Chain A
Amino acid sequence: MNGLRLSALAALTLAIPLVAASAPTGTPDFPGGHYALDPKHASLIARVKHMGVSLYTLRFDTLDANFDYDPSRPESTRLTASVDPASLDVNADYGKQFAEEFLSVSKFPKATFVATSMQKTGDGQGTMTGDLTLMGVTKPVTFNVTLVGAGHEVLPIPFGRHAAGFEATATIKRSDFGSTYLNNLVGDEVTLQIEAEFEKK
Chain B
Amino acid sequence: MTAAAHLFAPARTPRSTYSAVAITLHWLIALGILTNIGLAWYFGTLKGAEAIPPIQLHKSIGITVLLLTLIRIGWRLIHPAPTLPAHMPAWEKLAANATHLIFYLLMLALPLSGWAMVSASPLIKVHPTVLYGVVPWPTFPALPTDPDQLHAARKLFTRTHEWLGWIAYATIALHVAAALKHQLIDRDDVLARMIPFLNRKTGAAG
A contact residues vs B (CB 8 Å cutoff):
51-53, 92-94, 96-101, 104, 106, 182, 184-185
Contact = CB atoms under 8 A, between A and B. Distances in A.
Contact of A185 (B47, B125, B148, B150): B47
B191 to A, nearest CB: 40
A93 B52 CA distance: 22
**Size bin of chain B's contact surface:** 10 to 19
Contacts of A92: 125
Tell me what chain A mostly uses at the interface: helix, strand, loop, or mixed: loop
B147 A99 contact: yes
A101 B121 CA distance: 9
Contacts of B147: 96-97, 99-100, 106
Interface of B: 44, 46-49, 51-52, 121-123, 125, 147-148, 150-151, 154
A165 to B, nearest CB: 33
Contacts of B123: 182, 185
> Closest 10 CB pairs between A and B?
A52-B48, A106-B148, A97-B122, A51-B49, A100-B147, A100-B151, A94-B122, A96-B147, A51-B48, A97-B147
Nearest to B154: A101
Nearest to A182: B123
11 contacts: A51-B48, A97-B122, A98-B122, A100-B148, A100-B151, A101-B121, A101-B151, A106-B151, A182-B123, A185-B47, A185-B51
Given A92-B125, A94-B125, A97-B122, A184 B48 contact: yes
